[in-house]
Amino acid sequence: MCDRKAVIKNADMSEEMQQDSVECATQALEKYNIEKDIAAHI
């Protein structure tokens, strides 16, 4: 589990879409270490 906390400062999307985005990014950060791989996952 990550010790990071996602902060959404400004978004033009629904709460559900924001939550899905955070979950996707969290999965990528847990699974990969290289930025290129994280970006590809997202």
Domain ranges of the chain: 14-41
Q: Are 22 and 39 in contact (CB under 8 A)?
A: no
Shortest CA distance to 24 belongs to which of 16, 10, 12, 9? Answer: 16
* Average pLDDT of span 26-39: 96
Q: In this predicted model, what pLDDT tens digit does every residue of 3-32 receive, in sequence order?
A: 778 899 999 999 999 999 999 999 999 999
**Neighbour-count burial of 23, counting CB atoms closer than 10 A to its CB (0-12 exposed, 13-18 middle, 19+ buried):** exposed
pTM of the model: 0.80
